[in-house]
Structure 1
Amino acid sequence: MFTCRNQSCQAQWELADVVIKNEGQGLLFRCPMCGARNYVEKFEADDGTVVYEQIEGKPFV
């Protein structure tokens, strides 16, 4: 579950509800409700599946 970091929005989204992409500042999704940038990190789980974890602020690119 992801939560929009926009203080006035705070909408919650499942991975299936968002599009994760790199807009040149690292991996992120834009909130479907307000359009705010929400940054994520990509990990590989022990079973080989890709997992995304939301982070605060911008990643160090």
Structure 2
Amino acid sequence: MFTCRNKSCGAEWALSDVDIHNEGQGLLFRCPMCGARNYVKPQKTKEGEVSYKQIQQVQEIPPSGKR
């Protein structure tokens, strides 16, 4: 279950309700209700399937492109 991080929204969504993709800043889903960005991190299960965990914030990439 994912929760929109937009304080005024806070809607809860199942994985089947959201589209996880990369908009150039890492994996995220946009809240279907308010459009807020909500970042996720992929994880492999013991069975080898990919699942996602919602994260608070994304590590910013420096302007030079170096980490």
TM over 0.5: yes
Percent identical = 62
Task: Please state whether the residue corresponding to 1:5 is helix, strand or coil.
Answer: coil
Task: Please state whether the residue corresponding to 2:29 is helix, strand or coil.
Answer: strand
What is the count of residue pairs matched by the alignment?
A: 61
* Higher alpha-carbon Rg: 2
Unaligned runs of 5+ in 1: none
Q: Distance in 2 between matches of 1:29 and 1:8?
A: 17
Unaligned runs of 5+ in 2: 62-67
Point out 4+ residue stretches in structure 1 off by more than 2 angstroms. Answer: none
Give the root-mean-square deviation of aligned CA atoms.
Answer: 1.1
Larger RCO, structures 1/2 (Cα 8 Å, 6+ apart): 1
TM-score by length of 1: 0.94
